[in-house]
Amino acid sequence: LMEYVKNGGTMIVQYNTAGRWDSAYKEIAPYPLKLSRDRVTDENSKVEIISPEHPLITNPNAISLKDFEGWVQERGLYFPNEWDPAFTAVLSMQDEGYDATEGSLLVAPFGKGYYIYTGLSFFRELPAGVSGAYKLFANMLSIGKDNPEETHDSKG
């Protein structure tokens, strides 16, 4: 899989538990990231876009805070709480009374491609037809497609 990413592909990894991740991450992630039990359980919790110019937020769909309305059951779970500097955190979110977490959506260039780790609950939002989740997922699938010849600084 890493060769696929290195050669220009996009790999999207959805939430995992720390126990499974710790033993396998070197095979399924290009850079270190440590999963936690951090989660945001209130589907109406505060979201902040902390990388507003990032392609995951701008292309092909412009993502706004409105796209996080109508989510069901929860925002996400098992967010990383430590990651390599190669990753860019795109969102911050928090349940009321808890500290904000920035590990819900991480992206890193690797070789000619991109690696995305997300703990967002797409497995709930997509079947429920949440339009903002579809827009964000489409952006994840599309990263790097506008300019396939673009090179980026990566370790891969």
What's the rounded Cα separation, in Å, for the pair 75 and 122?
Answer: 9
Give, for 127, the enclosing helix (H) or strand (E).
none
pLDDT confidence band for 18 (50 / 70 / 90): confident
Q: pLDDT of 29-58, one tens digit each?
A: 999 999 888 999 999 999 999 999 999 999
* 37 inside domain: yes
> Which amino acid type is present at position 146?
D
CATH number at residue 81: 3.40.50.880
- pTM for the complete prediction? 0.91
How many structural domains comprise the chain? 1
pLDDT for residue 150 is more than 60: no
pLDDT confidence band for 105 (50 / 70 / 90): very high
* 153 inside domain: no
Tokens 């000619």, residue located: 112
How many other CB atoms are there within 10 angstroms of residue 59's CB atom? 16
* Containing structural domain, residue 126: 2-142
Phi and psi torsions of 3, nearest 5°: -65, -40
